[in-house]
Amino acid sequence: LIAAAYQQLNMKTVLPISSVKIEGEFKYLDKDQLREQAMPVVDGGFFSVDLVAVRNVLIDLPWVEDVSVRRQWPDQLLVRVMEKQPVVFWGKDGVLSSRGELFSPGETLNENLPRMNGPEGLHSVMFKELSRMQAWLLETGLYIQEMELDARRSWTLKMQN
């Protein structure tokens, strides 16, 4: 009898989700746009909403580094979003995040960041070298403005002082 009642109970209508709360510190992302992106996949009630689907729809956005989604009693989803921090320009329109991840922001950034150019696929190697070289140069007061690695594996540095 209890099993039959449970089967007839539509879990999407039990305690429906009424709001999505977005948390995080944002410079490039907008809370309202994140909410609009998430809402179409917020389908279900408190117990049946697919948290993984909500996370997946947001984690694929260019500026999103990480997302955590949890239920907040009685009818809310709490979504914490970590924004990518740009640290280096790569090529014509790429950017490397603080984790060394290459992404395309889809907009022109007005940031004073070093620029790297090199063969495709070597951005992580160059990022590590940039960090190593900059740490070594820190005592001199010189900062790397541009770093280039050509096809012959020759390095060129342009300094800012």
Q: What is the pLDDT of residue 127?
A: 93
Q: What is the pLDDT of residue 116?
A: 94
Q: What is the pLDDT of residue 118?
A: 92
Q: What is the pLDDT of residue 11?
A: 47
Sites in the chain below the pLDDT cut of 70: 1-14, 17-18, 45-48, 161
Q: What is the pLDDT of residue 45?
A: 66
The residues pairing with 160 across neighbouring beta strands, listed in sequence order, are 143
Q: What is the pLDDT of residue 84?
A: 93
Cα torsion at 131, 136, 140, 142 (round to 10°)? Answer: -30
CA distance 49 to 155: 52
Q: What is the pTM for the complete model shown? A: 0.74
Q: What is the pLDDT of residue 3?
A: 53
Per-residue DSSP letters for 54-115?
A: HHHHHHTSTTEEEEEEEEETTTEEEEEEEE--EEEEETTTEEEETT--EE--SS-------E
User: In this structure, what token pair is assigned to residue 20?
Assistant: 């999505």
CA distance 49 to 59: 17
Q: What is the pLDDT of residue 54?
A: 82
Phi, psi of 111 (to 5 degrees): -110, 150
